């Protein structure tokens, strides 16, 4: 049982980020897409925490707090928006959201 | 004297301008001004010649006006006055005056009477410009101006399509000649760095390559209607008859010959000389042949003019020995003979034309000789003067033409046998067609009621004829040399033979028997050897097609393919790029990721 | 610490104003709410005036070491942009009041959110540290999510909101991941530290990787190729005042951060990336202008032209010289007034529901000569034809690039593209002018009545026109201001 | 006495006045504009006469505009532009006289017309590169709008777009070139004299010149319809209202040539070396190709348009030959052609007004119908085919001499052919079709030029004749300046050391 090093954390966060991005691109349901977004944000958090641990500096962790807060705000706004949209269109599928194009 | 010189030059311009500005409202005034101007120039010329004031070479009458002064190229408007130009002045102003007076009657009824005189004055001015020019550029300037004034006069009755076309043709043909002339001037300037005759002559500048000389001669080919640019002269007869007499017999067409004599020192001793001589010879022969089968009285005279000009050009080309005390006009046999013939020819040919004009006037603008006849009794003065003219032109001894033609033959005999023979042949033909014209038009019975009711023209028209008759007879004596018996013999034979032949064929003939007898040859002569047709073909098939091609390229390739193409492809690119905007946010997210990936690759590799 | 708050006094005032508006809303009778808009505009104007106080401008020379140990800069650049944003905010508020009956509900919130977004921009103007950068950006973005989707009864508005939300979130995700990586290499979040050790950092691929992620985030804000796709849809769907604010405010915010980062903090990295930036700028110009060609919807048209303008502005970054920064500042200043005027006029001419088709401009010269005049000026200025602001701005940008071009010939490619872009843009702007003056309306439809313009809007438009002419005709002083701002901006530490 | 300032500002003032006059007071609007342009012409005449050929820069007005960039509002006259300004002012007056054919939105038209005149005169009067460009654009914008709104013909929209895009493109290319000059001389100033001084001390590096010259050559070339960038010209002029066509074809178009002489040649002589040959050939293409195209035209306006494009060839040839004679000739032709083009378009405008078509095949005999206009047209055509007595001849023959001595013999030969023969051909055909022959169908109710218009024609013709009879009036002014430029431009004069600039 080996000690996890910085690179492991980074690998994890990178994986999370990619998964999130993939989700944003391929999933059709707005809510799921939104979750994938959260995943991307948090992957960054993982990386930051790991780094600040590595450097023994607090900046990173402070940053993480900022990000969490911001993410919360984003979620609040985002969900409200998605709900409003659902009320109007009775759907949360992305394909239905292409009235403006070209 | 200097003032006089400038006045000679400027009087016609002044008259032209005044008529143009305001005087044209009143016919008599404008005619008066114009005639006064030209006569004034004539008198002044006469005075100047009389007290024989030579301006030493280099400085003509001051002040020289500087027209253009740049380093390396400076052009003055200055007058060159020497024997040559003085002689020419006499011819131009003298004949000019008489023709002005003649026109007074001939154009009486014309509604554009004033415009006519304005143009005449303009022409005289330009002609004097050529005569007095003391450098190439100035000569070229007036060369062009002469061209345009002749354009205006030929196209004087511009409502008549034929006249308008003839004018256009004349101008364009001249332009082709001038093209060569300009290049010649450029070459001379490039070679010697000056355009002034005096400077060039002082430097004894001889153009090393004959090309420049020949190019300059091109100008003469155009103006003096040498082959192959002779086609405009016959058509130019569409103009009023006095104009034909003045411009297309006496003065403008002679300008080419005059110019050659003026710049003889440049062409001397180059291959250009042979070229000139042969072109002259060929022209004279060809024109004489064509004249044989023409029926329009003015055209016959026009072709005879052509062939006489051919004579002059030929003899200039032949050059010959130089002997300053023997020759009075220039010190070279060729140019001397040329100028001599030019002078006499100017008088009698002008008279012939005016005579023709008087005939035409009397026959209510009938020009076909076969519709005339029997005018002898009806218009005696015209008849007699015309006779004198004919004799002079044929070169019957004791008439002016005899001496000058004899001078030419002498030179030809000395310089080149083939050209001499051509010259003699031309002499025969000349007598032949002139006799033909004379017999058909004046003798025999009237062949149309116009001819029957013809009556003598008013005195204002016949007076110039009578006046011109004098020099036509005597002009030969001022430069006669003891004739070489052989030459004398040859020319006499030529005259007699031609006259008898024509007499045998045309006495009391009612129509022309030659076509029947000669067939194709006669047709070729009548059709003027199809020159016009060939040119027309060239213009339609080559020139027009070239223009058409250019137009197509311009319209379809440049403006169409390239410009509209660029426009279209831009628009298209826009429409294509827009397709990226699918409206689906996941596509957008994909673009985002893909774009970033591309940037990463581009930046980090 | 307390006295150190003087550095953020303006921002605090603005935030307070926003809160005040929210509170006042409770007290206000619904009929008089429009007053709030004017009041807050007035408030912002006061703040704008206060920004000229010697007491405040003196701060430029003070070090903010003690305050957030200089993660927050108050320098010429910051000052310039704070004022810039304030003006924009004032205009947008007046605009919003004029717009408010189309909001149906919550107009007070609308005003306050505008104010909050403004405060975010003002913070961004001074950000000198990644945390500051991130927070301010997010403050702007999140408020904009709301502002964009504010007309909940309009599907377009909601759709635009969602698109902006998702893509914005993606971009910020990339940004913070980039921040994480940069932090990982540099071990600090401060620009100044980056500046200090850039020459070592430039060696590390990971660092550059992170910087590119960051750049992507900012490029998204300024809608630069290939991160521009969101712009047309969002611009079209959003309520017009929001669009205007988006076009001017958040673009400018993006640029101030780009300047801080690429020009001030890590110039060496920028030099490394010259070709990348060059290509991006060129492609942005091309994309914007070409797509605008066939566009008939005015708001989308302006969105595309906005993309193109982002490309032109990037030229200033590419130049990597003080001249370049000056040019950017000058161009943005001109852009503010031009675009604001354009959107206001479009808003006045288009009614709720009906699309913003270009044909709505036809016959404007008859309906309202003043609007026609203003719109023409806007179009001409955007096309970059003298004697207007747009021309002089473009002139400066081109000049800054040309200065470098003779050393590095691939800059000529950029110049060529820029010229081509301008010509193309002239084509469609000229189309606008044509419609205004001799556009044909269909025979059947009646000629619409003359447009009625409220006094405040009239004033704002007047200011815009005056500013366009002033910046175009008498650039002497403005150039000086821009130069002072740019100087401080570039030579930071 | 700084005449130039007033010459440039009078039209602007008139424009503002027109702006405040109510739109229905047509008489007042026309009167103001006419008066102003007349005054401008008068002033320019005074300036022209009181100009001292060896007095250097004169009538100077100099204000700093943006000192940090070294921009100045700097009006001054020297030998080269004084003549052009004079010509421009006269043409402007003539154009205003001929503007009577505009019937709707008169106020706007005259406002734009005044603006355009101001721009034109300003462009030639200013010695500061920025304003040189600025004024040019100021004149272009009204041009576009005028063609768009008051233009004629069914394809006027296309014409408007085409001319707009073409000219903008050319102008921008040139602008980059100009900026290049500014940047590279390091004079930190846009004023031409300063730049000249800077270049005299230390010429622009060769590598930079290799960029600057082509930029300027093609940029300006497009503005002057250098082949093959010429197709906008006939189309645009065909669609433009009379006054606009007169002003643009006559004066504004010369901007590019002026720029070439003023900036491109002296600033980037080394860059020029390689390109002058090209320019000469393109000039030949102008002369020959566009001449041939003109031969094919049935529409008078297209004919005039193409012929004026062809005439540009002379000027390019003169510039390309790069010697005192050539450049002087070029300026000479610029002025002459300005007057001629204005005259020609004025006449065609008059004809168009009589009978809404310019189809030459349906004309004829108009010399009888309208003696004044007819004679003017006849003389214009004659001037067009380079007849002595008109200013064009003086310039053209000078250019022939220059080109020949510059070693372009072949080109000169073909150019002379195109000038003398092809030029003569289409001009004479036009005369034949329009003025000569029997009267064309349904031209009965055509009327001759009104006094005002006739004055304009007369004035232009008079100028053509005066400069034709005494080209010295112009050359002795032009010569000195041109010599300066040539001294700078000649390779032996200005061969900069080969330095590669390094980016900092």
Residues B304-354: tens digit of each pLDDT: 999 999 989 999 988 877 776 677 777 788 888 898 899 899 988 888 988
Interface contact D472-B68, CB threshold 8 A? yes
List of chain D residues whose C-beta atoms are within 8 Å of the C-beta of residue B175: 420-421, 424
Interface contact A89-C152, CB threshold 8 A? no
Cα end-to-end span (Å), chain D: 47
Nearest to B183 among D416, D425, D470 (CB): D416
Helix (H) or strand (E) holding D178: helix D156-185
Structure-model confidence comparison of residues C438 and D203, the more confident one: D203
* pLDDT digits 0-9 by tens, A7-42: 888 899 999 999 999 999 999 898 999 999 999 999
pLDDT value at D170 more than 50: yes
Q: What percent of chain B has pLDDT over 70?
A: 96
CATH topology of domain A6-96: Helix Hairpins (1.10.287)
Residue A78 is predicted with a pLDDT of 92
Residue A1 is predicted with a pLDDT of 60
Residue B59 is predicted with a pLDDT of 57
pLDDT value at C297 more than 80: yes
Q: What percent of chain B has pLDDT over 90?
A: 16
pLDDT value at D498 more than 50: no
List of chain C residues whose C-beta atoms are within 8 Å of the C-beta of residue B577: 287, 290-291
Residue B207 is predicted with a pLDDT of 53
List of chain D residues whose C-beta atoms are within 8 Å of the C-beta of residue B167: 436
pLDDT value at B596 more than 60: yes
- Does the CB of A73 have a partner CB in chain C at under 8 Å? yes
pLDDT value at B84 more than 70: yes
Mean pLDDT in residue range C134-154: 92
Q: How many CB atoms lie within 10 A of CB C1?
A: 6
Q: How many CB atoms lie within 10 A of CB D346?
A: 30
Interface contact D387-B66, CB threshold 8 A? no
Structure-model confidence comparison of residues B555 and C312, the more confident one: C312
Q: How many CB atoms lie within 10 A of CB C391?
A: 24
Q: B224 is written with which tokens?
A: 């003096």
Mean pLDDT in residue range D129-148: 89
Domain boundaries, chain A: 6-96
For C211, the closest chain B residue by CA position comes to B600
Lowest average pLDDT, out of B227-236, C191-200, C480-489, D123-132, goes to C480-489
Residue C313 is predicted with a pLDDT of 94
List of chain D residues whose C-beta atoms are within 8 Å of the C-beta of residue C480: 68
Q: Is the ipTM of this complex over 0.90?
A: no
* pLDDT-based confidence at residue A69 (cuts at 50, 70, 90): very high
* pLDDT digits 0-9 by tens, B515-534: 777 778 888 888 888 888 88
Residue D491 is predicted with a pLDDT of 54
Query: Smallest CA–CA separation between A2 and chain C, in Å?
Result: 23
Q: C316 is written with which tokens?
A: 């200033």
Nearest to A25 among B578, B581, B593 (CB): B593
Interface contact B554-D289, CB threshold 8 A? yes
Residue D495 is predicted with a pLDDT of 35
Q: Which residue has the tokens 């969490």?
A: A68
By CB atoms closer than 10 A (0-12, 13-18, 19+), residue B477 is exposed
List of chain C residues whose C-beta atoms are within 8 Å of the C-beta of residue D149: 437-438
Tell whether omega for the bond before B582 is within 30 degrees of 0, i.e. cis: no
Domain boundaries, chain D: 3-502
- Average pLDDT in chain D: 87
Test the C interface: residue of D145, D172, D181, D223 with most C CBs within 10 Å: D172
Determine if the pTM surpasses 0.95.
Answer: no
pLDDT value at B245 more than 80: yes
CA distances from C80 to B108, B465, C477 (A): 90, 99, 14
Mean pLDDT in residue range B141-155: 91
Pairing label, strands B73-77, B65-70: antiparallel
Q: Which of residues 254-293 of D touch B (CB under 8 A)?
A: 289-290, 292-293
Bridge partners of C297, per DSSP, are C357
Q: Which chains have 3+ CB pairs within 8 A of D?
A: B, C
- Does the CB of A26 have a partner CB in chain B at under 8 Å? yes
Residue B205 is predicted with a pLDDT of 57
Bridge partners of B133, per DSSP, are B79
Query: Smallest CA–CA separation between B578 and chain A, in Å?
Result: 5
Angle, CA of C4, C9 and C11, to the nearest 5°: 125
As a residue count, chain A comes to 102
Q: Which residue has the tokens 């007004």?
A: D353
Tell whether omega for the bond before B57 is within 30 degrees of 0, i.e. cis: no
pLDDT value at B56 more than 60: no
* pLDDT digits 0-9 by tens, B411-460: 888 888 899 999 999 999 999 999 988 888 888 888 888 878 888 888 88
Query: Smallest CA–CA separation between B591 and chain A, in Å?
Result: 10
C-alpha closest to that of C87 among C54, C109, C118: C118
Q: What percent of chain D has pLDDT over 90?
A: 36
Q: What percent of chain C has pLDDT over 70?
A: 95
List of chain B residues whose C-beta atoms are within 8 Å of the C-beta of residue A21: 589, 593
Mean pLDDT in residue range B80-89: 86
- Does the CB of D296 have a partner CB in chain B at under 8 Å? yes
- Average pLDDT in chain C: 88
Q: B127 is written with which tokens?
A: 């002609």
Nearest to B186 among D367, D404, D437 (CB): D404
Side-chain half-sphere exposure of B16, counting CA atoms within 13 A: 16
Domain boundaries, chain C: 273-493
* pLDDT-based confidence at residue C214 (cuts at 50, 70, 90): very high
Residue B212 is predicted with a pLDDT of 85
D25 contact partners, CB below 8 Å, separation of at least 6: none
* pLDDT digits 0-9 by tens, C3-16: 778 888 899 999 99
CA distances from B245 to B43, B441, C118, D73, D305 (A): 21, 19, 96, 65, 40
C-alpha closest to that of D122 among D80, D81, D78: D81
* pLDDT digits 0-9 by tens, B149-174: 999 999 888 888 888 889 999 999 99
Mean pLDDT in residue range B23-45: 87
* pLDDT digits 0-9 by tens, C231-289: 999 999 999 999 999 999 999 999 999 998 988 888 888 888 999 999 999 999 999 99
Residue B55 is predicted with a pLDDT of 61
Residue D496 is predicted with a pLDDT of 34
* pLDDT-based confidence at residue D504 (cuts at 50, 70, 90): very low
- Average pLDDT in chain B: 86
pLDDT value at B550 more than 90: no
Say whether the C–A interface has 3 or more Cβ pairs within 8 Å.
Answer: yes
Q: C485 is written with which tokens?
A: 């701002």
């Amino acid at each position: 049982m080996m000690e996890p090093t910085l690179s492991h954390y980074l690998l994890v966060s990178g994986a999370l980020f990619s998964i999130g991005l993939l989700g944003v691109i391929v999933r059709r349901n707005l809510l799921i897409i939104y979750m994938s977004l959260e995943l991307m944000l948090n992957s960054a958090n993982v990386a930051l925490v790991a780094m600040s641990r590595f450097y023994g500096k607090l900046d990173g962790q402070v940053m993480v707090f900022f990000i969490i807060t911001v993410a919360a705000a984003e979620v609040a706004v985002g969900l409200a928006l998605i709900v409003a949209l659902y009320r109007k269109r009775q759907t949360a599928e992305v394909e239905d959201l292409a009235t403006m194009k070209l | 004297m200097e003032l006089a010189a400038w006045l000679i030059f400027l009087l016609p311009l002044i008259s032209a301008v005044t008529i143009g500005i305001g005087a044209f409202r009143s016919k008599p005034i404008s005619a008066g001004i114009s005639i006064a101007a030209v006569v004034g120039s004539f008198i002044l010329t006469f005075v100047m010649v009389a007290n024989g004031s030579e301006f030493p070479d280099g400085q003509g009458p001051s002040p020289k006006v500087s027209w253009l002064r740049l380093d390396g190229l400076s052009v003055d408007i200055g007058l060159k006055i020497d024997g040559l130009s003085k002689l020419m002045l006499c011819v131009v102003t003298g004949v000019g005056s008489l023709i002005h007076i003649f026109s007074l009657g001939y154009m009486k009824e014309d509604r554009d009477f004033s415009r006519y005189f304005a143009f005449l004055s303009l022409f005289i001015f330009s002609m004097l410009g050529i005569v007095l020019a003391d450098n190439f550029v100035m000569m070229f300037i007036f060369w062009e101006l002469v061209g345009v004034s002749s354009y205006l006069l030929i196209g004087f009755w511009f409502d008549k399509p034929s006249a308008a076309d003839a004018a256009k043709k004349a101008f364009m043909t001249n332009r082709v000649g001038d093209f060569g002339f300009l290049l010649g001037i450029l070459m001379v300037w490039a070679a010697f760095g000056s355009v002034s005759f005096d400077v060039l002559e002082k430097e004894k500048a001889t153009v090393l390559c004959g090309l420049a000389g020949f190019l300059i001669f091109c100008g003469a080919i155009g103006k003096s209607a040498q082959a192959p640019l002779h086609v405009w002269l016959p058509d130019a007869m569409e103009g009023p008859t006095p104009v034909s007499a003045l411009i297309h017999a006496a003065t403008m067409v002679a300008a080419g010959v005059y110019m050659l004599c003026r710049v003889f020192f440049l062409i001397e001793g180059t291959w250009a000389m042979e070229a000139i001589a042969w072109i002259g010879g060929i022209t004279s022969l060809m024109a004489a042949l064509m004249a044989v089968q023409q029926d329009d009285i003015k055209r016959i005279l026009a072709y005879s003019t052509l062939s006489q000009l051919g004579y002059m050009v030929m003899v200039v080309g032949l050059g010959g020995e130089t002997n300053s005390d023997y020759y009075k006009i220039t010190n070279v046999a060729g140019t001397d003979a040329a100028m001599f013939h030019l002078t006499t020819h100017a008088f009698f040919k002008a008279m012939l034309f005016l005579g023709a004009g008087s005939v035409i006037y009397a026959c209510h603008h009938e020009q076909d000789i076969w519709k005339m006849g029997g005018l002898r009794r009806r218009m005696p003065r015209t008849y007699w003067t015309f006779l004198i003219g004919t004799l002079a032109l044929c070169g019957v001894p004791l008439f002016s033409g005899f001496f000058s033609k004899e001078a030419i033959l002498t030179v030809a005999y000395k310089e080149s046998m083939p050209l001499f023979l051509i010259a003699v042949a031309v002499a025969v033909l000349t007598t032949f067609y002139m006799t033909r014209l004379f017999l058909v038009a004046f003798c025999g019975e009237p062949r149309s009621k116009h001819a029957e009711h013809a009556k003598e023209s008013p005195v204002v028209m016949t007076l110039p004829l009578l006046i011109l008759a004098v020099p036509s007879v005597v002009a030969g004596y001022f430069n006669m040399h003891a004739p070489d018996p052989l030459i004398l013999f040859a020319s006499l034979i030529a005259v007699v033979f031609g006259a008898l032949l024509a007499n045998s064929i045309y006495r009391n003939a009612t129509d022309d028997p030659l076509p029947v007898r000669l067939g194709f040859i006669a047709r070729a002569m009548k059709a003027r050897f199809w020159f016009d047709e060939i040119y027309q073909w060239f213009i339609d098939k080559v020139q027009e097609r070239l223009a058409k091609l250019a137009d197509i390229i311009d319209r379809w390739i440049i403006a169409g393919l390239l410009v509209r193409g660029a426009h279209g492809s831009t628009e298209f690119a826009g429409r294509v790029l827009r397709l990226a905007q699918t409206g689906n946010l996941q596509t957008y997210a994909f673009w985002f990721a893909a774009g970033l990936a591309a940037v990463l690759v581009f930046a980090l590799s | 610490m307390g006295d150190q708050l003087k550095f953020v006094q303006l921002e605090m005032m603005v935030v307070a104003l926003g809160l005040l508006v929210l509170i006042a809303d409770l007290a206000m009778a619904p009929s008089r709410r429009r007053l709030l808009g004017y009041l807050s505009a007035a408030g912002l104007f006061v703040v704008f005036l206060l920004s000229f106080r010697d007491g405040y401008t003196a701060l430029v020379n003070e070090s903010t070491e003690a305050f957030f140990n200089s993660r927050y800069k108050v320098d010429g650049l910051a000052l310039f942009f704070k004022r810039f944003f304030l003006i924009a905010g004032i205009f947008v508020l007046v605009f919003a009041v004029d717009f408010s009956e189309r909001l149906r509900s919550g107009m007070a919130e609308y005003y306050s959110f505008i104010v909050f977004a403004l405060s975010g921009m003002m913070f961004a103007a001074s950000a000198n540290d990644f945390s500051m950068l991130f927070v301010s950006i997010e403050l702007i973005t999140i408020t904009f999510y709301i502002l964009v989707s504010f007309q909940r009864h309009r599907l377009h508005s909601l759709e635009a909101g969602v698109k902006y939300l998702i893509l914005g979130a993606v971009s910020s995700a990339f940004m913070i991941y980039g921040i994480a990586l940069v932090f990982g290499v540099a071990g600090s979040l401060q620009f100044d530290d980056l500046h200090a050790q850039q020459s070592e950092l430039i060696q590390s691929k990971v660092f550059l990787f992170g910087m590119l992620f960051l750049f992507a985030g900012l490029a998204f804000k300024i809608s630069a190729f290939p991160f521009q796709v969101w712009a047309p849809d969002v611009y079209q769907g959003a309520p017009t005042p929001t669009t205007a604010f988006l076009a001017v405010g958040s673009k400018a915010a993006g640029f101030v951060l780009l300047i801080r980062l690429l020009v001030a903090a890590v110039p060496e990295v920028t030099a490394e990336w010259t070709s990348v930036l060059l290509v991006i700028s060129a492609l942005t110009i091309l994309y914007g202008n070409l797509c605008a060609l066939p566009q008939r919807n005015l708001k989308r048209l302006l969105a595309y032209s906005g993309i193109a303008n982002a490309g032109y502005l990037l030229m200033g970054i590419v130049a990597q010289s003080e001249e370049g920064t000056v040019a950017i500042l000058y161009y943005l200043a001109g852009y503010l007034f031009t675009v604001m005027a354009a959107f206001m006029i479009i808003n006045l001419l288009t009614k709720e529901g009906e699309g913003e088709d270009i044909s709505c401009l036809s016959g404007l010269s008859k309906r309202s000569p003043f609007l026609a005049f203003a719109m023409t000026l806007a179009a001409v200025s955007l096309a970059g034809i003298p004697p207007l602001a747009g021309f002089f701005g473009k002139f400066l940008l081109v000049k800054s690039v040309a200065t470098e071009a003779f050393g590095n010939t691939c800059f000529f490619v950029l110049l060529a593209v820029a010229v081509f872009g301008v010509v193309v843009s002239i084509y469609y702007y000229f189309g606008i002018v044509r419609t205004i003056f001799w556009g044909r309306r269909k025979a059947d439809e009646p000629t619409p009545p003359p447009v009625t313009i409220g006094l405040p809007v009239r004033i704002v438009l007047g200011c815009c026109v005056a500013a366009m002419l002033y910046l175009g005709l008498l650039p002497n002083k403005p150039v000086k201001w821009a130069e002072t701002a740019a100087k401080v901006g570039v030579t930071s530490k | 006495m700084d005449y130039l300032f007033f010459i440039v500002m009078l039209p602007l003032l008139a424009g503002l006045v027109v702006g405040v006059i109510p739109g229905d007071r047509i008489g007042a609007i026309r009167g103001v504009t006419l008066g102003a342009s007349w005054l401008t012409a008068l002033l320019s005449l005074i300036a022209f006469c009181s100009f001292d050929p060896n007095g250097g820069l004169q009538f100077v007005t100099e204000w700093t505009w943006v000192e940090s960039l070294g921009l100045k509002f700097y009006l001054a006259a020297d030998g080269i532009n004084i003549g052009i300004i004079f010509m421009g002012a006269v043409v402007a007056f003539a154009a205003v006289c001929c503007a009577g054919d505009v019937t709707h939105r008169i106020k706007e038209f005259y406002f734009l017309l005044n603006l355009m005149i101001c721009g034109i005169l300003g462009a030639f009067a200013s010695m500061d590169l920025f304003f040189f460009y600025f004024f040019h654009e100021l004149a272009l914008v009204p041009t576009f709008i005028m063609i768009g709104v008051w233009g004629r013909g069914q394809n006027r929209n296309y014409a408007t777009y085409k001319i707009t895009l073409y000219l903008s493109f050319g102008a921008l290319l040139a602008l980059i070139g100009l900026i290049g000059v500014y940047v590279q001389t390091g004079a930190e100033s846009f004023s031409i004299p300063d730049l000249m001084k800077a270049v005299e001390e230390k010429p622009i590096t060769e590598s930079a010149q290799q960029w600057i010259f082509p930029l300027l050559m093609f940029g300006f070339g497009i503005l002057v319809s250098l082949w093959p960038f010429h197709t906008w010209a006939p189309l645009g002029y065909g669609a433009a209202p009379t006054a606009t066509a007169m002003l643009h074809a006559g004066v504004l178009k010369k901007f590019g040539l002026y720029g070439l002489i003023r900036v491109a040649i002296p600033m980037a002589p080394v860059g020029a070396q390689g390109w002058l040959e090209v320019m000469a050939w393109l000039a030949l293409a102008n002369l020959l190709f566009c001449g041939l195209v003109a031969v094919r035209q049935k529409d008078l306006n297209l004919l005039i348009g193409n012929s004026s494009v062809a005439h540009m060839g002379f000027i390019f040839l003169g510039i390309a030959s790069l010697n005192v004679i050539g450049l002087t000739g070029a300026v000479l032709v610029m002025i002459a052609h300005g007057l001629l083009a204005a005259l020609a378009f004025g006449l065609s405008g008059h004809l168009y007004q009589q009978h809404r078509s310019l189809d030459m095949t349906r004309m004829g005999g108009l010399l009888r119908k309208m003696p004044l206009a007819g004679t003017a047209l006849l003389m214009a055509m004659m001037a067009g085919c380079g007849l002595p007595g008109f200013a064009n001849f003086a310039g053209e023959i000078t250019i022939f001499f220059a080109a020949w001595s510059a070693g372009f013999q072949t080109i000169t030969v073909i150019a002379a052919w195109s000038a003398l023969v092809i030029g003569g051909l289409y001009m004479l055909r036009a005369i034949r079709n329009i003025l000569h022959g029997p009267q064309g169908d349904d031209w009965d109710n055509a009327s001759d030029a009104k006094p005002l218009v006739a004055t304009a024609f007369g004035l232009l013709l008079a100028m053509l004749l005066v400069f034709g009879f005494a080209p010295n009036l112009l050359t002795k002014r032009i010569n000195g300046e041109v010599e300066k430029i040539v001294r700078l431009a000649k390779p032996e004069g200005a061969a900069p050391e080969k330095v590669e600039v390094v980016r900092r």
